[in-house]
Amino acid sequence: MKKLACVLLLLVLVKNTNANVKPNNVFSNNMVLQRNAKVPVWGTAEEGEKVRLTFGEQKVSTTAKQGKWMLWLQPMPANNQPQVMEIEGKNKITITNVLVGEVWFCSGQSNMEMCVGKYKMYRGVQGYEDALKDVNHPTIRVLQIPHYSSGLPLPETNVAWRVCTDSATIYWGSAVAWFFAKKLNKELNVPVGLINAAWGGSPIQAWTPPSILKESNDFEKERRTLEVGDSLYSTSTHLQKEEWEKAIFQVMDTLSVVPPSEQWISRPPLPVQSGHKLSYPNPSSLYNAMVAPIIPYCIHGVLWYQGETNLGDGMFYAKRMEALVSGWRKAWGEGSFPFYYVQIAPFAYKDWPVKNATPDLLPKLWEAQKAALSIPNTAMVPTDDLGELDDIHPIRKKEIGERLADLVLKNLNN
């Protein structure tokens, strides 16, 4: 009875909240919108409410259906000058300091997550002291996705854009993404927005959309795991999907968006609600909580740095890459956007992730990464000259970030 009362109270709170027009949390002060592309903006409102959006010279409107709305801005050139976005229904939301430029989604495991400064197993990138002296880059912005896992795709997460003008933001941000953004920003003279969603030790299947894993005959083990999780919602002893989502958001609301710090980067995953088993690192668990809530925010493309945890997959990793790339492209609906990834660096693997790992496992994984180049509009950055056999987290991240930027610059000039 007590549990039911809490759920009913939560439903009332959510209903009252949805009465006002509200954009998805990914739309906040300091954001960067993708240039030269149609840009979707979406959120929630009362059923039938008229929603109006103004940005620059553009004015668009729609009517909320089933409590949701989506509007589209026409393609815009890059703009370094801050602008204001206004979203209006019965209430009015003003989003300030908005730029238009390059937006890239940066994801993977610990080598993508590795921050510029020192933190636990991260030694700090090579020359990080000097890197932290150069922090005033107001046209580079970061949206950091916190460590959440979920058994179902979530429509929203707890995030806010930050301007790169202080050492804390740089210190705790992805080093690869930071050096990528700096070079792109300098060479193109356009704003750069980074959406960072990475989790150390995560396998690629945790980032893969559930629909792809369920549809393919190549992933029988993952499909069985997903089906077991889904079956939990068919019993009366667990909260139904909609109630579970609302309970998750209630938990998120208690985790305020705070400046990057050791406590922030170590935030625990969301508690698993309603007996659902699909928490980290199970199939699709990170896609559900750290990728799906961002889609379809308009991006130019993806930067991917992952593979160490999948060392034992050998050539099968190429199939996993194909599933990930095709799944993300289908979910975003932007076509075959660029997907640039990083070769995992040399390292003397011993008992992780494969017990008594043999020397042939790394070259087999490299072959799989090379084979994934057959996926349209992909490219790989080599790192065989940057590794350290005694540390799986090599510190020469500047070179990797700049090599990724070079790929973008090369293909923009073609």
pLDDT value of position 151: 79
pLDDT tens, position by position, 250-277: 666 655 555 556 655 565 555 554 445 5
Q: Give me the pLDDT at residue 87, please.
A: 98
Q: What is the pLDDT of residue 2?
A: 38
Kindly state whether residue 3 falls inside one of the protein's structural domains.
Answer: no
Cβ neighbors of 18 (< 8 A, separation 6 or more) are 44, 45, 46, 67
Q: Is residue 91 part of a domain?
A: no
Q: What's the CATH number where 179 sits? A: 3.40.50.1110
What are the CA-CA distances from residue 220 to residues 217, 312, 314, 322 (Å)? 6, 17, 17, 16
**Is there a domain that residue 44 lies in?**
no
pLDDT at 228: 78
Omega within 30 of 0 (cis) for the link into 363: no
The pLDDT score that the predictor gives to residue 230 is 73
Between CA 73 and CA 41 the distance in angstroms is 8
Q: Do the Cβ atoms of 350 and 388 come closer than 8 Å? A: no
Q: How far is CA 321 from the centre of its chain?
A: 16
86, part of any domain: no
Q: Give the model's pLDDT for residue 241.
A: 62
Whole-angstrom distance, CA of residue 111 vs CA of residue 122: 9
Pairing of strands 79-88, 92-108: antiparallel
Is residue 168 in some structural domain? yes
The Cα–Cα gap between 174 and 177 comes to 5
Give the total number of structural domains in the chain. 1
**Encoded amino acid at 414, one letter:** N
Domain span at residue 284 reads 99-413
Q: Which residues of the chain have pLDDT under 70?
A: 1-18, 232-278, 413-414
H or E element that contains 16? helix 2-17
Token duo for residue 28? 């906040």
pLDDT at position 246: 67
54: in domain: no
Rg (CA), the chain: 21
pLDDT tens for each residue of 338-354: 999 999 999 999 999 99
In this prediction, residue 10 carries a pLDDT of 40
Q: Is residue 36 one of the residues assigned to a domain? A: no
User: Is residue 15 in some structural domain?
Assistant: no
Q: List, for residues 162-173, the tens digit of each pLDDT value.
A: 999 999 889 989
Residues near 378 by beta carbon (within 8 Å), at least 6 away in sequence: 325, 338, 339, 340, 341, 372
